[in-house]
Chain A
Amino acid sequence: MHESLLIYKKFKYLKLTLTTVILSVVLYLYHSPIGSPNGGTWLGYTLGTTAALIMFWLAWFGARKRSYKKSKGNLEEWASAHVYLGLALVVISTLHSGFQFGLNIHTILYFLMMIVIISGIIGVYFYLKFPRLITKNRNGLTTEMMLNQITEIDEDIRELSMSLDDFTVDLMTKAIEETVIGKSFIIKLRGVDPDCPTTLARKHLRETFFSENKKTAEQLLSKLTRKEKILHQLRKDLKMRSLLQIWLYIHVPFTFAALAALVIHIFSVFYYW
C-alpha cells in the first residue's frame, strides 16, 4: 500500500534514467568529432539540449509541488522522476562538457549544478534515514503532548520550589521561564543546549546539600530529570526535522543560481558563435 519514492512503480524512473545514461555514454564513445569532444558537435548540442530541458523540468518541481488543485497525477511520481533524472544530469552534462573545464561561466554553471545535485542526494539520504528515527524518538507522543507534559512538570516545579531558598527559587523560575527548545540555528542543529536553564537548575540541585526540605529537593530533582528527558527528546526531534529541511536552503537557492547561469551559458554560446 505504501511505497517509497525510490522504488516507485518498480523503479520506473531508475530504468528510464539508466537507459538515457547508457545511451549517452555509448554515443559519446562511438562519436569521433573533429578535435577533442566539446559542446559544439551534434552530440554536444543534443546532450546540452537534453540537460537544459531536464534542468528546467526539475526546477518546475517547486511549482508543481504547490499546485494542488489543477495538476493531475500524484506528486510522488514527480518526486521519483525528479530524483533519478537529477542524477542522470551528472553524466549527461559531464559528457556535454567533453571534460573541458576552465575559469568561465560554463564551468561555473557546472559547479552550481553539481552543488544542487549533491545537496539533493543528501536530501534523499535524510528522507530515507530520519522518518524512522523521528518515530522511534517520539515514542508515540506528538510535539504537543510533549509540550503539555512539560507545562505540567513546570507547574509541579513551581509549587515544590516555593519552600526552598531564594537562590534555588530563582534558578527554578529560570528553568521554567527561560528554557527554550530551538534557541538558535546552531543549537537547533546540534540538538543539545549546553546552557539549558533546566540542566543548570538540576546540576545546582544535585550539588546542594539540603539539611531541611530534603524530600522536596529530591522530588524536585526527579521532576527536573524527567523534564530534561522530554527536552532532550524534543530537541532531538527538532534537530531531525530541521535536517529534513535544511538541505533545501542550499538546494533551492542554488537551483535559481544554476538556472541563471544556464540562461547566460546558452545566451553566450550563441552570441559568441
Chain B
Amino acid sequence: MAETYKVAIIGSGPAGSSAAARAAKLGMSHILIERQDHISDTIFKYQKGKFVMSTPDFLPLRSDLNFQAGKREEILDVWNNGLENCEVNVKFNAEVTNIKKEKNFTITYADGETCEAENVILSIGLQGNINKLPCEGAELPLVQYQLDDPEEYEAETIIIIGAGDAAIENAVALSKQNTVIIVNRRAEFARAKQGNLSLITEAIEKGNVEAYYESSPIKVEKDSITLKTADGEAKVPCDRIIARLGASAPRRFVESCGVDFPDKEELKKDPKKRPDPRVLPEVSAQYESNVPGLFIIGALGGYPLIKQAMNQGYEVVEYIGGNKIPPADEPLLVEKFSALNNQNVDDVLETIRKNLPIFAKLNTLLLREAILESNVHAFKKGDTIFKRNDYSNTFYTIYDGEVGILVDPNDPSQVVILDQGNFFGEMGLISGRRRAATVKAITNCIVFETPRRTMLKLIQSVESVKDNLDKVSMLRQIQTHLAPGVDASDLQELIETAEIENFSAGDVIFNQGDEGDHMHLIRSGSCTVSVKVGGKDVVLSYVPSGNYIGEMALLSDQPRSATVKAAHNTQTIRLTGKAFKDVLKKNSGIKNSVEKKFKERISQNEKMEGQPEAGNIIQFLIEQGVGEGTDVLLIDETLCIHCDNCEKACAETHGGLSRLNREAGPSYASIHVPTSCRHCEHPHCMADCPPDAIHRAPDGEVFIDDSCIGCGNCERNCPYGVIQLAAPPPERFNLFSWLLFNKGPPPGDLRKSADYKNKKKKDENQIKQAVKCDMCKDIEGGASCVRACPTGAAARVSPEEFMSMTSLTS
C-alpha cells in the first residue's frame, strides 16, 4: 500500500509550485508530480532570455515563492531555489495517466505505480497538450513545437506553421539569419496582436519572410513539407518545421477524472458537434470542481497569468488545510466597496450577479477582476455623471438608485429613467465618439464605472456580455438616431429582425442598382456615398456614425441610387425594410422626419454631382484615414508660407521634440494633410499598450502618460506614423538667453540642433518613451501649431464638419 498524502499536486507550473510550497510550509503531507525532469515546463520552453511580465500590477502576490517581472532564466532559478528551501517533495518524470476517486483519490502513473491522496490539485496548464500538426509526419525529427533560441539556427530554410503571436514572433526572430516561410491557414493574420501584425506585415513586405496564405500542411517527409495551397499542392524542401498551433485543455484526461465541462449537455444533445477547445471546466470560488476534493487552478481553470496562478495555489492549499482565506484581492475590493456602507464583499458580488444582468454570467474570478478595475461612485441626487459632448468612453452600471438620461439637449424635461441593473454610457464605448446625452443622478445612487479596455476585453471574451450589450444598445441607438420617442414595444419586430454587421475600410455596404430591401444605422465608423458618373466614382457625401443610410431605396421602392462604402472599420445595424416600414406606418412623426431627410439628401446629391471637385476632396481625405479621426490638422497650401512655425511651436511646447511633420504627408486641391495625430475614434495606438498608458482626455485628446515603458507597440500600431520613440530632450533656456548668450539649443525642433544629436549619441541606451500630439491639452488656448500659424493656413477640424457639404462647396 502506497503512502496517502493529504494533497497531491499535479503539474509544477507557477500554480502547482506555489501550492506545493505552501503545503510544505504548513507541514501538510504532499507530493508535487511533474511529467518532465524540471519544473514549469511551459516557462522552461519560452524563448531564451524572454522577458516575463508580472501583470496584473494591482494584484498583490501571495505565495511562498517569489516572483517579479524579469528574464525567464532568473524566474526559474528563483522558483527552483524556493522549492528547495521549502523542502517540497517533488516527483519528476512522472506522468499521471489516471485519477480515480473512491474514498481517497488513487493516482496512477504511466509506469503503473500508484499513490493515494485525500485531495488533488490539478494544475497542469494547457501547454502540456500542444496541438500537433494534423497530418502525416507530425512526429518526424525535423518538426518541432517550440523554439528555444532563434540565434541557434542559421542559413536554414525554416517553415513556420501558424498565424498566432508565437508563430509570428518566431518567424520574425528567425528571419534574421534564415530563410523563413510562414504558413497561414487563413487569408490574413487576424488572430495576432496588433504589434505582431505590423511586425509580420513589414517582414513580408520587405521580403524577409515569405508567406503562404490559405495553405495547410498535408504531409511531412524527412526533408520537405507538402502544402495544400489555394493554387494546388506544393512540395517545399526545408531543414526545419516549427508548428505553433496553440494548446488546448486535455479534455479527455480531465473528463476521465470525473470533471464536467460546461458544454457537456449541449454536446450530448448534438453528438455531431465537436467540443470547443476553448471551453474550460467550471470551478467554485475555492477552485473546487464538481468532484469534491479535486481542485483546478492555473491556465486550466481559465487563469493563464502567472501571478494569479501562484495566488490560487496558495489559497487552495490554505483552504484544504481548513483555513478559508479570502482571495488576495479581497482588501482591494473592500476598499472599493467602502462607499457601500462596508457591506461584505461576497454579498456585494452576489448582488451584482443577481441584479446586474450584464455581469450575471461572469465567473467569480472574471467578475472580481472587472470590478477591481472599475470605480465605484456614490452620486448624490441631482449630480451630473457625465455631460453631453464629454469625450469619455467608460461604461456605467447602476448598482443602486436611479439615473436620468437627458435625451433632448433643448428640452431638459425629456428624461429617460434607468434604475438598478441597467447600464449606460455604452454608446460612447461603441462609437468612440462624444457622449450623446447628459446623465444625472435622479436619486442618491451607486454606479460602477468600468474602463473601456476592461469592457472591450469582456465583450470579446464573454458571449453573454456581448449579447446583452448588443441587444440593449441596438434598441437605444434606434431610439436615439432613428425613432425618437417611439416606445420599445413598437420597435420589437424591427429589433428582432435586425442584425449587427461589420465592414472593413473600402467594403461595399450596398451597391448602386442593388435591390433595396433593408437599411443600415451606422453604430461606429463612417461611410462614403458615391455614384458612378461616366464610369467614374463620384463621391457625394461622408456619413458619420449615428446616421442611417439606405432609406431612399426603401421609401421609393426603387433600386439603390448610390453605392455606400465603409470609410474605415465600421459597424452597422442592418434593419429589414418590412419591419421598418411597419414602424413608419404607425408613427407619422418619424415618417415625416425620415421623408424630410430623404428630400434633403436628394437635393444635396444633385448639388454634389455638379461639384465633383468637392467629392474628390472627400475621397482624398478618406484615403488619408481622416474619416476615422476626431480632430485633424489640415493645412491650406494657398496660405502656407512654409515657415515651419507650427513645427517650432509644437517642439517648444513639448520639450523640444515636434510631434508634427508639416512637409510630410500628401496634398490634394491645396489641402495638405501633414503627419500629425488625428485622435481617432477608436485609437489604433490604444489597442495594445501593456501598461495602459494611452488615454483619451475629456476633450477628446488621445495622449500618452508617463507610465509608458517604451515598448513601441503604439508606434507600430499607428497606421499614420505619428508616434515616435524619443529620448528625453536636453534642458532649454528662454529666447533671450539663447539670443544674447548662446545658452542652450535654439528655438524649434531639437532634432535639427547639434546639442541634441550629441546627447543622443552619448545616451544610445537611454530609455525612450513614445511621444505624440496631445493637442496641447495642458496649455491654455488650444493647439499651439494652429495658434502659431501667422497666415491662418493651419486649422484643426473635425472631419464631420469639414466634410459636410456646406463647408466644401462654400
Flag the segment in A17-25, A65-73, A172-180, A202-210 that touches B: A65-73
| Complexed CA–CA distance, A218 and B119 (Å) | 89
Which A residues are in CB contact (< 8 Å) with B789?
Answer: 74-76
The answer to whether A132 touches B641 (Cβ under 8 A) is no
Interface assignment of A171: CB less than 8 Å from any CB of chain B: no
- Is there a chain A Cβ closer than 8 Å to B384's Cβ? no
1/0 per residue A77-121: CB within 8 Å of B? Answer: 011000000000000000000000000000000000000000000
Query: Whole-angstrom distance between the alpha carbons of A131 and B667 in the complex?
Result: 13
Tell me whether A10 is interfacial, beta carbon within 8 Å: no
With beta carbons under 8 angstroms apart, the residue of B643, B652, B668 that contacts A69 is: B652
Size category of the binding interface on chain B: 35 or more
| B787 close to A75 (CB less than 8 A) | yes
CA distance A143 to B662 in the complex (A): 12
Which of A73, A76, A140 has the most chain B CB atoms closer than 10 A to its own CB? A76
Contact (Cβ within 8 A) B638 A74: no
Point out the residue from A75, A127, A132, A140 that lies within 8 Å of B788, measured CB to CB: A75
User: Do most interface residues of chain A lie in helix, strand or loop, or is the interface mixed?
Assistant: helix
Contact among A8, A69, A135 for B637, CB-based, below 8 A = A135
CB-based contact B639/A66 at 8 Å? no
A230 to B642, CA, bound (A): 20
Residues of chain B whose beta carbon lies under 8 Å from any beta carbon of chain A: 634, 636-643, 645, 648-649, 652-653, 663-664, 666-668, 670, 735, 747, 779-781, 784, 786-793, 795, 797, 801-802, 807
Given contacts A75-B645, A76-B791, 4 further A-B contacts (CB under 8 A): A68-B648, A69-B652, A73-B781, A127-B641
Q: Known: A2-B636, A66-B747, A68-B652. Is A73-B641 also a contact (CB below 8 A)?
A: no
Closest chain A residue, CB of each to CB of B790: A79
Taking Cβ atoms with an 8 Å cutoff, the residues of A that contact B are: 1-5, 8, 63, 65-69, 72-76, 78-79, 127, 130-132, 134-135, 140, 142-144, 241, 244
Given contacts A1-B795, A2-B636, A241-B642, A65 and B667 within 8 Å (CB-CB)? no
Contact partners of B648 in chain A: CB under 8 A = 66, 68
Whether B652 contacts A3 by the Cβ 8 Å rule is: no
A268 to B56, CA, bound (A): 76
The 10 A-B residue pairs whose C-beta atoms are closest, nearest first, are A2-B636, A68-B652, A74-B787, A68-B649, A135-B637, A79-B790, A76-B792, A72-B781, A3-B792, A75-B790
Q: State the CA gap A1–B636 with chains docked (Å).
A: 9
Instruction: Give the chain A neighbours of B781 by CB distance below 8 A.
Output: 72-74
5 contacts between A and B (CB under 8 A): A4-B639, A65-B788, A74-B781, A131-B638, A134-B642
Which chain B residue lies CB-closest to A80?
Answer: B792
Given contacts A63-B735, A72-B781, contact A2 B792 (CB under 8 A): yes
Q: Specify which of A3, A5, A68, A241 is in contact with B784 (CB 8 Å cutoff).
A: A68
A132 and B638 contact, CB distance less than 8 A? yes
Bound-state Cα–Cα, A194 to B652, Å: 41
Q: Contact at A131–B787, with CB atoms within 8 Å?
A: no
Taken together as a complex, chains A and B put the C-alpha atoms of A130 and B791 apart, in Å, by: 13
Contacting residues, chain A, for B640 (C-beta < 8 A): 131
Q: How far is the CA of A131 from the CA of B781 in the complex (A)?
A: 27
CB distance from A1 to the nearest CB of B (A): 5
Contacting pair A65 B663 (CB below 8 A): no
Instruction: State the CA gap A74–B793 with chains docked (Å).
Output: 12
CB-CB under 8 A from B634, the residues of chain A are 1-2
CB distance from A142 to the nearest CB of B (A): 5
Q: In the bound complex, what is the Cα–Cα distance between A252 and B649 (angstroms)?
A: 21
- Chain A residues, CB < 8 A from B784: 68-69
CB distance from B430 to the nearest CB of A (A): 29
Check A66 against B790 for contact (C-beta < 8 Å).
no
A residues near B642, Cβ cutoff 8 Å: 131, 134, 241, 244
Contact flag A79-B791 (CB < 8 Å), given A69-B779, A131-B640: yes
Closest chain A residue, CB of each to CB of B651: A68
**CB atoms of A67 and B735 under 8 A apart:** yes
Q: Contacts of A74 on B, CB cut-off 8 Å?
A: 781, 786-789
Q: Which residues of A have CB within 8 Å of B795?
A: 1-2
Nearest A residue to B810 by beta-carbon distance? A1
Given A142-B663, A142-B664, also A8-B639 (CB < 8 A): no
Known: A69-B784, A72-B780. A4 touches B663 (CB 8 A): no
User: B787 contacts which chain A residues (CB < 8 A)?
Assistant: 73-75
In whole Å, how far is A173's beta carbon from the nearest beta carbon of chain B? 31
With A127-B641, A135-B670 already in contact, the answer to whether A5 and B791 are too (CB < 8 A) is yes
CB-based contact A69/B653 at 8 Å: yes
| Bound Cα distance from A51 to B69, whole angstroms | 69
Q: Report B-chain residues with C-beta under 8 Å of the C-beta of A127.
A: 641, 791
